Amino acid sequence: MHPNSMPRMLWDLWMFFITSFALVTDPLGLGLLPDSVPFFDATDRLITAVFMMDIVLNFLTGYINKKERCVIMSWHDVAVRYLTTWLGVDIISSLPPEAFTSNKVSETSMIKAMRITKILTFFKISRLARVVEVI
């Protein structure tokens, strides 16, 4: 293992735990708990910030070209690859669930929120799969 890969591996492990936590708390926060629980509000903001930092970090991290078996570190190549692969998934999974719901709470909006949570969960699971693949 290359010594410079250790910080990235620790970051990916951290992302694994953060994503797992979000997969459990997002549905709880939307469907089962009262509208405002300070702990979940604070952790949701923290998780959103960490996910946004991960997006920036992915633009700065090289990747392995499996065909040529070499590490690509060119910022242009890394950015193009990230833009065409995981960026869309990462942006959607980084948004807090409240971004897709209105402030009015009704039975219909709660059903819509739960559907959106399922969609977000899919994106977070795909992010989790990518992190597990890297680890």
pLDDT at 21 over 80: yes
- Number of domains the chain contains: 1
Q: Residues 89-114, buried b or exposed e (16+ Cβ, 10 A)?
A: ebebbbebbeebbeeeeeeeeeeebe
pLDDT digit string, tens, across residues 68-86: 888 899 999 999 999 998 8
Per the confidence metrics, is the pTM higher than 0.75?
no
pLDDT at 34 over 60: yes
Residue 72 contacts by C-beta under 8 Å, 6 or more apart in sequence?
62, 63, 64, 65, 78, 81
Domain span at residue 111 reads 5-134
pLDDT digit string, tens, across residues 6-16: 788 888 888 88
